[in-house]
Amino acid sequence: MVGIIKGAEIGLNRDGNKNRLLLQVELIPEDVRTAELISQAGEDTYPGEGSRVLILNAGAFLAAIASTDDLEPETEAGEKEFYSTDSPITSKLARIKLNKNSEIIMNEGTDFAVAYTDLKTAFDKLKTDFNNFISVFNAHTHPYVDTPIGASVTSATATPGTSSTADMSGSKVEKVKLP
C-alpha cells in the first residue's frame, strides 16, 4: 500500500531496543499510522512531509521501504542524483549528481574542483619567485656615461617593480574534500 508522510520522529523501533525513524503515514484520508522506515544499508534518509511511501504490512508492524517526493526526475539513463529537500517538499536543495560521463557534479556546478593544498603550494612558490625577481630588478643599476662631464655613473631602475600581495586563501572551500 502507498501512503503520504504527515510527520516523523526518531523513536524506538518495534523491538524497543534501537532508535529509528518512525513515520506518521496517512494510508487513506483520516487514517494515520506509524511505520518504521527501513532504508538501504549505508543510507540515512529522512523523507519530508508530503512524500509518498510504500508500506508493507510486516505482521506486528508496518514497514516503510521506499519513498518518493514526487519532484520531477532530472537524470538521464545511467545517472544517479542524491539531494536534500525542504519539508514540506517543494524543491531540491543540496545536490550531488553522478552523471553518465563519470563526473560528480555538486549543486549543479559548472566549475572544476582542485586539490587546494597542491595548488596553494605551487602558487606560493610562484609568488616567492616573482617577489625575488622584483627585488633583484629593483636593485639593479644601469651604468652610463654622463656625456658633458665624461664621467661614468649609474642610475637606479627608472620604474621599480612592485612585489605581489596576491592571496588565494579565499578560494578554499572548507566543506568539500577531495582525495
Q: How confident is the model at residue 179 (pLDDT cuts 50, 70, 90)?
A: low
> Residue 150's pLDDT is what?
63
Torsional sign, CA 112, 76, 90, 63? negative
Q: Average pLDDT in the 29-56 region?
A: 89
Between 97 and 13, where is the model more confident?
97
* pLDDT > 80? residue 154: no
* pLDDT > 90? residue 78: no
Q: What is the DSSP string of 71-99?
A: PPP---TT-EEEEEE-SS--SEEEEEEE-
Which residue matches cell numbers 513515520? 23
For residue 174, give Cα distances in angstroms to 84, 117, 167, 177, 179. Answer: 20, 12, 16, 7, 14
Q: Is the pTM of this model over 0.75?
A: no
Q: Identify the bridge partners of residue 18 per DSSP, sorted by sequence position.
A: none
* pLDDT > 90? residue 54: yes
Residue 167 grid coordinates: 592571496
Strand order in the sheet with 92-98: 80-85, 92-98, 104-106
SS3 call for 139: helix
Q: How confident is the model at residue 93 (pLDDT cuts 50, 70, 90)?
A: very high
